[in-house]
Structure 1
Amino acid sequence: MEQIQSFLPILLLVAVMYLFLIRPQMKKAKQEKQFTAQLKKGDKVITNGGLHGRVLELNDDGTCIIECGAGKIKFERSAISMERTAKLNAPLIEKK
């Protein structure tokens, strides 16, 4: 019984770490993977570096071609920011 009580704080710490660190990180990774899989031609996107553009082409090797003010640039799909793109495409809410 004493052995169980001595391991209880360690087990509790592992459970808390899983609930607050590992699980949310896994959920976010799954959402980002789903976001990149749902990209389509014509979507307005923002890269992690802050480049604004429109998707012209999606390749099978995990890359995409984005048209921006400077021309056409090839990026990895993972370089597209899910959060920034969602904010860009969110409808504007009018304040009353």
Structure 2
Amino acid sequence: MSVIGWVIYIIAIVAMFYFIGIKPSQKERKKQEALLASVAVGDTVLTTSGFYGVIIDMTDDTVIVEFGNNKNCRIPMQKAAIAQLEKPTMAVKSDDKK
């Protein structure tokens, strides 16, 4: 192979790594950042540990989540521990469209 062939081969390998490895993780990170920015008090969340709860208080990087029907089960945790978000208004809007 000539030098030009090797250069094209290396560029193709780097492009493949970018589009298979780096680009999807950047997209997922932006999606998670948008999710954490939209969190509000009263939202039902799923934590990374698998627990469902309701946010009752927030600061910049921490939230206090109430788990279950027991009002004494309130745990402070980092915002980054939120995996999914269920807004009460979104459920009502999706039911109206059906």
TM-score (norm 1): 0.80
> Could you list the runs of 5+ residues in structure 1 that have no partner in the other structure?
none
Q: Deviations over 1:3-53 (max 9, x none)?
A: 121121111011011111100100100110110011001000010101110
Residue 67 (structure 1) aligns with: 66
Query: Which 4+ stretches in 1 moved above 4 angstroms?
Result: 89-92
| In 1: Cα distance, 2:64 partner to 2:76 partner | 4
Residue 57 (structure 2) aligns with: 57
Residue 83 (structure 2) aligns with: 81
Write the letter of the residue equivalent to 1:54: V
| In 2: Cα distance, 1:79 partner to 1:14 partner | 33
SS at match of 1:56: strand
Residue 40 (structure 1) aligns with: 40
Residue 8 (structure 1) aligns with: 8
Write the letter of the residue equivalent to 1:67: E
Q: Deviations over 1:44-88 (max 9, x none)?
A: 00101011100111102x110001125110011110113xx46xx
SS at match of 2:11: helix
Instruction: Give me the identity figure in percent.
Output: 29
Q: What RMSD over aligned residues (CA atoms) do the two structures have, in Å?
A: 2.0
| In 1: Cα distance, 2:53 partner to 2:30 partner | 24
| In 1: Cα distance, 2:17 partner to 2:48 partner | 28
> Could you list the runs of 5+ residues in structure 2 that have no partner in the other structure?
none
